Structures are given as C-alpha cells and as structure tokens.
Amino acid sequence: MPLPKWPPAISPSQLEELRLIATTYALSHGLLYLPPGQQQPPAPSSAIHAPFALFPSPFPRTLFTHAQDLQQIYNVLYARVASDTEFLDRVLSAETAVGRVDEFVGTLWKIWKEVRSEGLVQPLQLGIFRSDYLLHEDGDGMDIKQVEFNTISASFGGLSQAVDGLHRYLMASTGYYSCSPILKESNVPPNNTLAEIVSGLAQAHKAYLQSKLNSASNQGHPAQILFVTQPNERNVFDQRPLEYELLNTYNIRVIRRTFEELATQAHIQDSTRVLLVDTSTSPDPVEVSVVYFRAGYTPVDYPTSTHFDTRKTLERSAAIKCPSLALQLAGSKKVQAVLSRPGVVETFILSDRWAAISQDNPHSFTGEDVDGLRRSWMEMYGLEEEGAIEKARKDAQELVLKPQREGGGNNVYKGHIPEFLDGLSEKEREAWIAMALIKVPKGVENTLVRSGSEPVRANVVCELGIFGWALFGYESDPSTDGKKLKLEEGSGGYLLRTKGEDSDEGGVATGFSVLDSVILVD
C-alpha cells in the first residue's frame, strides 16, 4: 500500500506548542549534542538538542518486521566473513586492486597481516552492527533495500532510543491534537537499542573474564571496557548512555581514550599480551577486557603513523576487539559488492563447511533466507570489472559510486559521476563500487527541528537502521583435532534518520539528517 499523506495537519499555534514541548523534553532527557565549532573545556559547559523530526515517520509494518528478521542472518553472515581470512585476503589485501589503490584499506590490511604473522592471542571478536535500508518503490510494489552494513562505530544507539521516547511522550501528553488515527501506541514498535548493544559488550566482557587471558580479576582489580573515541567528540551524549548502562546493569566500568592518549598510556604485557591503560586515578594501570572503537573508521582518525601504530598495539593485545581489523575490513563496500555476486553469499549461509565447524550453533538457514538477503540488495559491481566504466558512464543518473569509507559525505551521485571518473586514474577507479540508486517513495513530508532554527517542513526520505551484535571466534575442538566456530548473537532496536529528499547523504553527525522514529502503517 502507498504511504499515507504525512504529516497530519495541525494549526500554527499547535505546531509552536509541540515544538516547545519537544525541545524541552529533548534537553531534559539527553537528546543532545555538543555545539559545533566551539572549543569545549575538559568538562562540557553547554549543549544543544540533537536535530529531530517533530512527528514519527510512517513505515510499512511488514517491511519493518522483514528488516528485523534479516538481522540475525546478517549477524551470522558477517561473523563468518570476518572468520574467513582467505576470502578477505583475496578481496582486500595489499596485493589486490583495492589494497593497492586505497591506502587506508591497504594499511589496515597490512597491520592485520603483521598481527596474524605474530600470532593472535585472542580468538574472540565482537561485532556491533547496523544494517541500513531505504524504502524502494517500483512497478513490483514497495520493498526495503540495503544501503550499507556497518561493522564499526554503529552510532546512535543511545539517541535513537531517546528520540523514540520523545515521540512517545508527545503522543501521550498531546495526542498530537488528535490529528491522525495512525498516531497511537499500538503502532509504535519497541526500541531497545541501548540494552541490546550493551548486552553484546557485556557478553564479550564476561567471556574475557572467563578466559585464561584475564589477569586483573585474579588480582582484585576488575577489568574494564575501553571506548576509543575521537578528539572533541560532539556525539558524546550518544556514547555515554552505553557507559551508564554497563555500570548500572552489569557493574562494568568504562574508560574513554583517544588514539593520541593511548599512544602514551596503552601498554601490552610481554608474556600474556594483556592490555593495560594508565589512569590518573589509580597507581595501577587498568586491564582492558574489550576495546570498543567509536573512532578508527576513517583516514582522518590516523593523521600520523603513530596512530596506526597505536591501532596495531590494540590489535595485538589479548583484549576482545569491537571490531577487530578483520571485521572492520569485512564491512567494506567492496566486500558488500562481492557478496552480491552469484553464488558467493550462499557459500557463507548454506555451505556444509560452516555447518560442520559450527559449535553449539542453532543458526541453520535455507534458500529462502538467502533469497530474502538478495531481495534486499540493489545491483552492485566493482569499477575494475570488464565494461564497468562504460556502464557507469551510461547509467550515471541511476547510480551512486561508493568508496571504502564510513561516516557519510563520501559518495558520488548521478550527474557528478562522469566528471568524477574523468578525474580518477585507471588504478584509482578500482577502489570504488557502483550501486544502483534506490527509488524512494515520493510525497512524504515531516517537520524538521534543529537547534537555533525555525522548524522546516520538507519532503523527506527515511533511512532505517537495524542493530545487532555477534560474539564469535574459533576454538580448538579436541574431539576432532580441529577448530570450531563459536557464535553468540542478538538483535534489537533501530535507528531512523530522516533527511530532505534533495540531500544524497544521510549522516546525522555530518548535518545531513535528523533523528526520527517509526510509526507503523498497514
């Protein structure tokens, strides 16, 4: 069915009252950013509310459920991809087109290879994922299509839950002035993103404590989780709720450090490779159980070779990495394109090989599950493939070009593609993929509220992100004298980002989108 005309009509006075109630709620409940362009002191002295949509946005109930159902398959898929060293080397190594041309990817792969050559001491990896979708409408009806799969710094777990609370409050306190029968509690899906992400971190922490690698607990000093963050992080109010939930629910403490700080404060014990971080509050360094990267996904995070050295130090350690370099590389756009080729994803989902080595693993999938994955993908291909450059030029108005980058603002769209290709060398082109543009439904509007500006009513596009996690790794199996893949996973919670339909990019932190929540429609 088509989406309803949106948003419902309200009077100017109702709009102003709704904005007042909403912004006050946002400031009172941590739906916040640090202000842009201001040098904050060590203790922040001011904050603004994060940008948000005044109404929840309509989303088909069946497609929302379909996106949730896909997440378990994606959790298992990317755990297996990250566990397949031969596959990742074949696609991304420094000897491949991507590794040679994309210096950032090539450098990460080289660090991973060096750590592997030395010998991995931590068999477990943790992934906190977010699979992003847009609604796609064509002659066959409406469906969801995947934009990308995020394996590092999948953000807005805290703030997505906060904006869900905002819309629930507006519904309960004002009823949205009875402007639409759709705006009722039964059409609001639960959003437990915070609890779900934290449960993954807690499971990894528990696994570390139970391993022989742990030493701190034996000395009466509990290990802690390390959050690796960017300097002057504006999105701190999205990250801190994870820290609070870890302490309140699981009694797990968190320390936050930038790469610059870790360059001098992080150390590895020679014999055990236990990761220790110096603090100013204790004479003894803190042992780290899990390294959770909220930085490190972009070349900007590595301005010097020292930053890459620090990443290598963390990767060499006995702490569980979220993500490991293998899992970060698995989330590259090139891997996404290769998985879409005929027969490739089937080797990870349906192959007897994975069934044979899975340990205590109830994850058994069918051809129908693979069909569901493939139905969520648009056509993708690498620009190094035969005839790809000519095809990209001819179909430019229907394409987007993507590099191996996260964080928003990196893609090239439509009419800009031919000129962009002209400026790239033949080798540079090999680091990009082309993806068919998703045809989003037209005619949906919402009122967008940004701090310090008047509300703006605009035609919008909504991008849905579904969160999940996986804790996995090979363990020795004495019964077969081989290795088994251990895997625990979970999913729950979502992010909705809404942007003006004329904006190609989708990042909230980069200023393109606002935070939103879903109202389900049939």
Residue 509 in this model has a pLDDT that exceeds 50:
no
Is residue 312 domain-shared with residue 267, that is, in the same domain? yes
192 is in an annotated binding site: no
pLDDT at 271: 85
pLDDT at 96: 62
Is residue 200 domain-shared with residue 214, that is, in the same domain? yes
Task: Establish if 1 belongs to a structural domain.
Answer: no
Question: 288: which 2 tokens?
Answer: 């780290």
pLDDT at 55: 98
Residue 345 near residue 293, CB atoms below 8 Å: no
Is residue 85 domain-shared with residue 69, that is, in the same domain? yes
> 408, 437, 466 — which closes off a domain?
437
321 is in an annotated binding site: no
Residue 361 known to be catalytic: no
Is residue 388 domain-shared with residue 367, that is, in the same domain? no
Residue 150 known to be catalytic: yes
> 106-116, pLDDT tens digit by residue?
899 999 999 99
How many domains does one find in the chain?
A: 2
> 116-149, pLDDT tens digit by residue?
999 999 999 999 999 999 999 987 899 999 999 9
* Percent of the chain's residues with pLDDT above 90: 71
* Side-chain half-sphere CA neighbours of 36 within 13 A: 9
pLDDT at 432: 86
> 241-285, pLDDT tens digit by residue?
999 999 999 999 999 999 999 999 999 998 899 999 999 888 889
191 is in an annotated binding site: no
Average pLDDT of the chain is 90
Is residue 235 domain-shared with residue 138, that is, in the same domain? yes
Is residue 444 domain-shared with residue 398, that is, in the same domain? no
113 is in an annotated binding site: no
CATH of the domain at 399: 3.30.1490.50
> 344-384, pLDDT tens digit by residue?
999 999 887 776 666 555 677 899 999 999 999 999 988 88
Q: Which residue, 334, 368, 339, is CA-closest to 97?
A: 334
pLDDT at 359: 58
pLDDT at 216: 62
> 10-28, pLDDT tens digit by residue?
999 999 999 999 999 999 9
Catalytic entry in 57, 83, 155, 317? 155
Q: Cα–Cα–Cα angle for 497, 498, 499, nearest 5°?
A: 125
Residue 353 known to be catalytic: no
Catalytic entry in 273, 311, 321, 497? 497
- Mean pLDDT over 42-60 rounds to 92
Q: What is the DSSP string of 311-345?
A: HHHHHHSSSEEET-HHHHHHTSHHHHHHHTSTTHH
Residue 419 known to be catalytic: no
Question: 369: which 2 tokens?
Answer: 């599950």
Residue 497 known to be catalytic: yes
pLDDT at 147: 93
408 is in an annotated binding site: yes
Residue 148 known to be catalytic: yes
Task: Establish if 329 belongs to a structural domain.
Answer: yes
Catalytic entry in 402, 429, 484, 486? 402
Is residue 194 domain-shared with residue 280, that is, in the same domain? yes
435 is in an annotated binding site: yes
499 is in an annotated binding site: yes
Residue 506 in this model has a pLDDT that exceeds 50:
no
Question: 44: which 2 tokens?
Answer: 């922040």
463 is in an annotated binding site: yes
Is residue 432 domain-shared with residue 448, that is, in the same domain? no
Is residue 452 domain-shared with residue 472, that is, in the same domain? yes
> 162-199, pLDDT tens digit by residue?
999 999 999 999 999 999 999 999 999 999 999 999 99
Residues ≥6 apart with Cβ < 8 Å to 240? 158
287 is in an annotated binding site: no
Residue 179 near residue 18, CB atoms below 8 Å: no
Is residue 431 domain-shared with residue 455, that is, in the same domain? no
> 422, 437, 452 — which closes off a domain?
437
What band does 422 get if pLDDT is binned at 50, 70 and 90? confident
Q: What are phi and psi of 163, to 5 degrees?
A: -75, -30
Task: Establish if 3 belongs to a structural domain.
Answer: no
Is residue 20 domain-shared with residue 157, that is, in the same domain? yes
Catalytic entry in 57, 75, 131, 150? 150
Is residue 460 domain-shared with residue 338, that is, in the same domain? yes
71 is in an annotated binding site: no
Could you list the residue range(s) of the whole structural domain that residue 458 is in? 12-39+46-378+438-521
**The pairing of beta strand 445-449 with beta strand 52-53:** antiparallel
Q: What are phi and psi of 269, to 5 degrees?
A: -65, 130
438 is in an annotated binding site: yes
381 is in an annotated binding site: no
Catalytic entry in 80, 148, 191, 340? 148
Question: 311: which 2 tokens?
Answer: 């990443």
Task: Establish if 482 belongs to a structural domain.
Answer: yes
406 is in an annotated binding site: yes
- Mean pLDDT over 212-224 rounds to 73
Catalytic entry in 346, 358, 398, 407? 407
- Mean pLDDT over 296-319 rounds to 97
Residue 333 known to be catalytic: yes
410 is in an annotated binding site: yes
> 421, 437, 453 — which closes off a domain?
437
382 is in an annotated binding site: no
234 is in an annotated binding site: yes
Task: Establish if 5 belongs to a structural domain.
Answer: no
- Greatest CA span in the chain, whole angstroms? 73
505 is in an annotated binding site: yes
Task: Establish if 281 belongs to a structural domain.
Answer: yes
Residue 334 known to be catalytic: no
Q: Which residues does residue 124 pair with via DSSP β-bridges, in sequence order? A: 473
Residue 63 near residue 146, CB atoms below 8 Å: no
Residue 90 known to be catalytic: no
Mean pLDDT lowest for which of 202-211, 358-367, 374-383, 457-466?
358-367
Catalytic entry in 312, 316, 333, 486? 333
Catalytic entry in 83, 106, 130, 506? 130
Catalytic entry in 243, 406, 430, 488? 406
Residue 212 near residue 476, CB atoms below 8 Å: no
pTM for the predicted model, two decimal places:
0.93
Task: Establish if 448 belongs to a structural domain.
Answer: yes
Question: 134: which 2 tokens?
Answer: 């847009």
Task: Establish if 496 belongs to a structural domain.
Answer: yes
Residue 510 in this model has a pLDDT that exceeds 50:
no
37 is in an annotated binding site: no
